[in-house]
A and B are shown apart, each in its own frame.
Chain A
């Protein structure tokens, strides 16, 4: 049987989790809304470090060849080499808070940022 203190702690934890969920949702929606503002798009594109086409090529290859599960970590070297990257130079794809790639259970997958960059590249190609 739970004590009164335990119940209070449990209720507080549940309230915090619920608040966190609300915050995550709100943040997600706000980020989406800000991204859609024309001025923001112009500024962020200008401020974003320009990347060569081969950079996006790696991301598109991971998207295309990896499907839902991602590509095997060992295959990233092959994908990178096709874009002219040395295997040792691929670590940058995983670095930073806005890294486009992530390693999950031995598979390389795109992050939400990586998917955004793929969309951006596809938009450019389609123009």
Chain B
């Protein structure tokens, strides 16, 4: 992927309003903002209702995703464009999920609702009619886009960098969640040993749009991200880390990036997982990789054994 393939701007969308091959999808942290007004012909997907399994804590099953695709009128020729509030953080989860299930042409409206509003483009409160596709593509898993707990635990051994994209206060363990999200707390604060803190929003400009590629590279390198090495991103429940996944995999074209959607609410709540507090040290990952164990991880063998069990039960 590349910026040209993965990212569109408001003008691109405005020129294609009404194009049946372009499916616009809004995913919001606060889905009710859709009712205040949305991009004409855009559909609203609810993160809880449409992009999660309704019972288990897991991604929706392939047949559920296919039903969503049919409901949105997505077929093999469709270009799907995601956008949303709060600088696209939930929208990116939708984009990641659709890519994870094998949809090829998935793009992001740069800046999301914020950009559309800033440009004074038209909004509507009319919901588009259900445009059921005669034949939606079959959902098939792209196994390289998602990380499960066992893969995260083995990351340092496998030479994979772990990128914690939460706020520095969450990373250090000062807070369990950002203020306003008490329902997303884990049992313990802190971060996965060896992870680097790369807050997801360092990739954004003040207007909510993504920084240009060269600036992205500089900013990410400044946070210790090696753009030549495989990476796993995580946050609290996998949405902010989906944004960073999108930046690394879809925009900057890193070959192997996975999103750990279990994220801190999984890792920080399981018994026996190694946890590190504090700001971490720049050399932590390197020394962990060199010794074959996450730096400061404590009993890493125990962590791997625990996570293997968890992985087996969560897949």
Q: Are A126 and B114 in contact (CB under 8 A)?
A: no
Specify which of A21, A64, A119 is in contact with B114 (CB 8 Å cutoff). A64
Nearest 9 A/B pairs, CB to CB: A67-B208, A122-B32, A67-B87, A68-B87, A112-B180, A67-B114, A28-B182, A112-B179, A32-B182
Q: How far is the CA of A115 from the CA of B183 in the complex (A)?
A: 15
User: Can you list 12 A-B pairs, Cβ within 8 angstroms, ordered by A?
Assistant: A28-B182, A31-B182, A64-B33, A67-B87, A68-B208, A69-B208, A111-B179, A115-B180, A116-B180, A118-B30, A122-B32, A122-B33
Q: Are B114 and A66 in contact (CB under 8 A)?
A: yes
Interface string of A26-54 (1 = CB under 8 A from B): 00110110000000000000000000000
Tell me the total A-B contact number using a CB cutoff of 8 A.
Answer: 77
Q: How far is the CA of A95 from the CA of B311 in the complex (A)?
A: 48
| Residues A126 and B35 in contact in the complex (CB < 8 Å), given A68-B89, A116-B180 | yes
Q: Are A64 and B208 in contact (CB under 8 A)?
A: no
Chain B interface residue count, CB cutoff 8 Å, equals 32
Q: How far is the CB of A99 from chain B (nearest CB, A)?
A: 13
Q: Are B208 and A125 in contact (CB under 8 A)?
A: no
Interface string of B162-190 (1 = CB under 8 A from A): 00000000000111110110110100010
Q: Are A64 and B182 in contact (CB under 8 A)?
A: no
Q: Are A28 and B185 in contact (CB under 8 A)?
A: yes
B56 at the interface (CB under 8 A from A): no
Q: How far is the CA of A3 from the CA of B127 in the complex (A)?
A: 69
